[in-house]
Amino acid sequence: MAILLSTKASAMEAWRDALLELDPSLEIRMFPEAGDPADIEAAVCWTSHDMGELRRYPNLRLIVSMGAGVDHLLRPPGPPPGIPVARLVDHRLTTGMTEWVLLNVLRFHRQDPDYRALQAARVWEELPAPETSSARRIGILGLGELGAASAKALLSLGFPVMGWSRRPKAIEGVEGFHGPEGLEAMLPRTDILVCLLPLTPGTRGVINARSLALLPRGAFLINGARGGHVVQPDLLAALDSGQIAGAALDVFEPEPLPADHPFWGHPKVILTPHAASITIPRSAAPQVVENIRRSREGRSLINLVDFAAGY
């Protein structure tokens, strides 16, 4: 039996090597060279792979999605029904996102965009001292693996942290909110809003004209989740009106962000190309090999996607 590997060309060999290092007996087929479709027992693939294509493999027993987010699996046609799907929960992915969130919280907290503008204009000027971190309130949307890790890191730097999740969630030191009323209560107290939610029908467009208007004037937005969480024209309007003082964005809809999109040249937007946290094959491979073993032995899988919840 064989494992079908499908991801962007530049990552294929690193993934193959990482899997073979852990289990040299694996037979890896690199898409589109799948060989006999009946040989394929597991597909390890990412967003570029057409889920409809996976219906070609009659003996497929496991799908591993090579990332944390699963929204691409929820769109039609979706994975073949009845086949378990696991995602990656990987400490390097989590650490990468925590670093990116800290980078941008500190960037806004320490007035870095203003100092960059002064530097560009060759102006030697000291701005008023920033608030202490204890006066800069952070609101995190999503308290899953990523949100919880960022919350802890921000707490350790002295920021007061609030967190919003679908269901009540207790994290030591984090003031928790949930449900629509919880969001309305948290936003007016949030100076820097960090989005690390899964994208589901319930969270699509959560950052819109109404929610942005609930933030204090001059608040900042950091989005490391999915472009679909933000109603982009609403954010542009809020940036242009000064309601939002700056936004650090890693994700967009569509991606790649079209070359003529106003975010590219917007003076208040800090942009990265969906690179906040990048999967490192050697770090993520052990859980993939573990799931292949478990699948062969008929044991329960780890990091299974809950399609009803949408993550």
The footprint of ligand GLV (CB under 6 A) covers 67-69, 93, 279
Closest separation between CB of residue 222 and ligand GLV, Å?
Answer: 15
Sign of the CA dihedral running 109, 242, 268, 249:
positive
Element (H, E) at 30: strand 28-30
Is 261 designated active site?
no
Closest separation between CB of residue 92 and ligand GLV, Å?
Answer: 11
Which residue in the shown chain puts its C-beta closest to ligand GLV? 67
Closest separation between CB of residue 149 and ligand GLV, Å?
Answer: 14
Report residue 151 as tokens: 């919350």
Closest separation between CB of residue 267 and ligand GLV, Å?
Answer: 26
Q: Which is nearer to ligand GLV, 73 or 213 (CB)?
A: 73
Q: Which of 226, 261, 282, 296 is catalytic?
A: 226
Closest separation between CB of residue 49 and ligand GLV, Å?
Answer: 14
For the chain, the 3-state helix, strand and coil shares in percent, each to the nearest 5, are 40, 15, 45
Q: Which is nearer to ligand GLV, 65 or 232 (CB)?
A: 65
Is 226 designated active site?
yes
The CA distance from 311 to 73, in Å, is: 10
Q: Which is nearer to ligand GLV, 216 or 273 (CB)?
A: 273
Q: Which is nearer to ligand GLV, 94 or 232 (CB)?
A: 94
Buried b (16+ CB within 10 A) or exposed e, 118-156: eeeeeeeeeeeeeeebeebbbbbbbbbbbbbbbbebbbe
What are the C-alpha distances in Å from 275 to residues 19, 119, 272, 278?
23, 26, 6, 6
Question: What is the DSSP secondary structure assignment for residue 294, as one 8-state letter?
Answer: H
Residues 6+ apart with CB under 8 A from 298: none
Closest separation between CB of residue 100 and ligand GLV, Å?
Answer: 11
Q: Which of 178, 274, 282, 294 is catalytic?
A: 274
The CA distance from 49 to 31, in Å, is: 9
The CA distance from 159 to 109, in Å, is: 10
Q: Which is nearer to ligand GLV, 67 or 79 (CB)?
A: 67
Q: Which is nearer to ligand GLV, 69 or 80 (CB)?
A: 69
The CA distance from 246 to 266, in Å, is: 10
What are the C-alpha distances in Å from 220 to residues 145, 157, 193, 212, 254?
22, 18, 6, 10, 22
Catalytic center residues = 226, 274
